[in-house]
Structure 1
Amino acid sequence: MNRLAVACLTAVLACSAPTLHAQISARAYAPENLRTLSISDQQRVISQEYAEQSGGRRIPDDQMRFYLDQVNRSSWGFSRIKQDIATSLSGSGGGWNPGGGGGWNPGSGNGVVRCESRDSRQRVCDTGWRSARLSRQLSDTRCEEGRNWGSRNRQVWVSGGCRAEFVEGRGGGWNPGGPGNNYTVTCSSNDNRQQSCAWDSRQGRPALVQQLSGSACVEGRTWGYRGNALWVSNGCRARFGTR
């Protein structure tokens, strides 16, 4: 190879090196334990992972807040984040609740349906179950059964900005009032303040059915019962019912 050919080849490689390096470094390294990173770095790697899986779309703000909460409160690893992003983007249209019509997750036992109220509009999602119960709240808007979500006719409905994952419920549908029914009350401590919520004492003593917050709900410490009212504090958000 003559000197001219060597010089040309060297020039081509030199020009392409930055592009090649950019391609290699485009996917950010992230440790499995994201808690070793700063919050800003956690946001960066989660945003980049979402963009790579979604073809360049920006992660919704409330989904990012949810992941940060799971990383720093529930110790989710990066692999769990990646798996959840993939699940959220599966199906038509992408988004945290693809298609707005609920998504089926065959890897979640009896299945999970995601149903999302966009622009506060009501959305009805098919479930195939006689009744449903809220498994995980995805929206900043609090999801309260009977107010902005419910189940009927093998479907679940959401409204008023509620976005959540639902699983098959126990027994019949939601029917407040009267012993033996699936009477539930959702109570939420906003900004860590104590909050009281009405409870029908005829239903008996309340029990925690489902924790909705990252903050722990511990009876006697962050939630309790007195008279005709429940109370929650220190960020506890939960659904209470009768056993």
Structure 2
Amino acid sequence: MKRLLKCVALALGLSLLMPAAVFAQAQTRAYAPENLRTLNYNDQVRVISLEYEEQSRGRRIPDDQLRFYLDQVNRSNWGFSRIKQDISQSLGYGGGGPQPPYPGNGNGNRIRCESINNRSQTCPTPWSGPSRLVRQLSGTGCEEGRTWQSQRGQVYVGGGCRGEFEAAPIGPPQGTVRCESVNNRPRTCATPWAGPSRLVRQLSGTGCEEGRTWQSQRGQVFVSGGCRGEFAPGAALNPNYSVTCTSRNMRPANCGWNRDYGRPALQRQLSSSACVENQTWGYDSARGSIWVSSGCSGRFAQPQIQPRY
């Protein structure tokens, strides 16, 4: 009995000596549920922030990244393990270990370069050639030539751009066509292939959104609204492709959407409850999914638009 009491006293003494912040972190992490929607908003913020701080060795999670995770938890049902994995990837750990080399002109890994509080930052690269953006991490757009630039052996970022970069091949991509809407004017560009096209690289700050600011046609690509990009041959698509998504009992739901078909449009409302874009339905381009809520049920398909020449 004396030995047991001694062990209990020792454990209590260690807990009292433990710094409050460390104890609170250990307690929060230990009780973080997989379904974060069971927590209130403040607890969601605390759990996600502590996980980022733990993985980044003390760094504070960027506000826009925290907002992104909160949105994914409450709209797209991301679990705690999914957020942990994404944090690991965003920090360059690839799920726990160093990332392998990526194709390009160098043998180095991806690097992360961040403009914090809109301050400019120059990051050295392990490769000597040009770089390319492979993943944007900021809410502020990363636009080449404006908020980020590739220099010899380094990457420059500014204006709040935060992203992951890797070595880029020298010279223009093979088998691509560049098509640009200058001063928001529409333009049609001929392609050397007869089938559909796909966007492989956006060059403009204005978004290139299929069905709105660009469209693939037989043997040509149409762009408008400031979209500038590089296009390559795309796979043949099913002209009758559609997805039906339903909010049952007024609860939110998510339905998969093939990104190859661009941004979906509401083809037909199937419910008595109104389906209003960005209110009771929307498209999550990052996940490639349609979300519906408040009883909206509809059939969604690729928008049919007629380009203006």
Q: Equivalents in 2 of 1:184, 1:39: separation in Å? A: 45
Asked if 1 retains the 8 angstrom alpha-carbon contact of 2:214 and 2:223, the reply is no
Asked if 2 retains the 8 angstrom alpha-carbon contact of 1:210 and 1:240, the reply is yes
Where does residue 138 of structure 2 map in the other structure?
139
Deviation, structure 1 residue 170: 4.5
**SS of residue matched to 1:151:** strand
* Counterpart AA for 2:67: R
**SS of residue matched to 1:134:** strand
Partner residue of 2:99 out of 106, 114, 129: 106
**SS of residue matched to 2:29:** coil
What's the Cα RMSD here? 5.0
Per-residue CA distance 1:62-88 (angstroms, 9 max, x = gap):
231233345456665423433444566
Q: Give me the TM-score of the superposition, normalised by structure 2.
A: 0.46
Where does residue 258 of structure 2 map in the other structure?
none
- Name which structure has the greater RCO, CA cutoff 8 Å, separation 6+: 1
Per-residue CA distance 1:216-239 (angstroms, 9 max, x = gap):
x8622x55359762479xxxxxx8
Q: Equivalents in 1 of 2:161, 2:64: separation in Å? A: 12
* Identity fraction in percent: 47
Per-residue CA distance 1:153-190 (angstroms, 9 max, x = gap):
3433222321111234355279xxxx9888587x9xxx
Q: Equivalents in 2 of 1:182, 1:149: separation in Å? A: 23
Q: Equivalents in 2 of 1:182, 1:126: separation in Å? A: 29
**SS of residue matched to 1:82:** helix
Cα distance change of structure 1 residues 84 and 241 upon mapping to structure 2, 3 Å threshold: same
Partner residue of 1:59 out of 52, 58, 61: 61
**SS of residue matched to 1:141:** coil
Deviation, structure 1 residue 200: 8.0
Deviation, structure 1 residue 144: 0.7
* Counterpart AA for 2:159: G
Asked if 2 retains the 8 angstrom alpha-carbon contact of 1:204 and 1:242, the reply is no
Q: Equivalents in 2 of 1:17, 1:127: separation in Å? A: 45
Q: Judging by fraction of residues, say which structure has more helix.
A: 1
**SS of residue matched to 1:62:** helix
Where does residue 209 of structure 1 map in the other structure?
200
Which ranges of structure 1 fall in alignment gaps of 5 or more residues? 92-103, 188-195, 212-216, 233-238
**SS of residue matched to 2:133:** strand
Deviation, structure 1 residue 123: 1.6
**SS of residue matched to 2:48:** helix
Where does residue 27 of structure 1 map in the other structure?
29
**SS of residue matched to 1:167:** strand
Asked if 2 retains the 8 angstrom alpha-carbon contact of 1:182 and 1:242, the reply is yes
Where does residue 257 of structure 2 map in the other structure?
none
Where does residue 224 of structure 2 map in the other structure?
229
Per-residue CA distance 1:42-68 (angstroms, 9 max, x = gap):
222101223444565542312312333
**SS of residue matched to 2:139:** coil
Where does residue 48 of structure 1 map in the other structure?
50
Q: Give me the TM-score of the superposition, normalised by structure 1.
A: 0.55
Q: Judging by fraction of residues, say which structure has more strand.
A: 2
Asked if 2 retains the 8 angstrom alpha-carbon contact of 1:151 and 1:173, the reply is no
Q: Equivalents in 2 of 1:146, 1:77: separation in Å? A: 37
Q: Equivalents in 2 of 1:35, 1:140: separation in Å? A: 23
Per-residue CA distance 1:93-139 (angstroms, 9 max, x = gap):
xxxxxxxxxxx952475532211224432424315164433222122
Which ranges of structure 2 fall in alignment gaps of 5 or more residues? 104-108, 192-196, 203-207, 216-220, 233-309
The total of aligned residue pairs comes to: 202
* Counterpart AA for 2:137: L
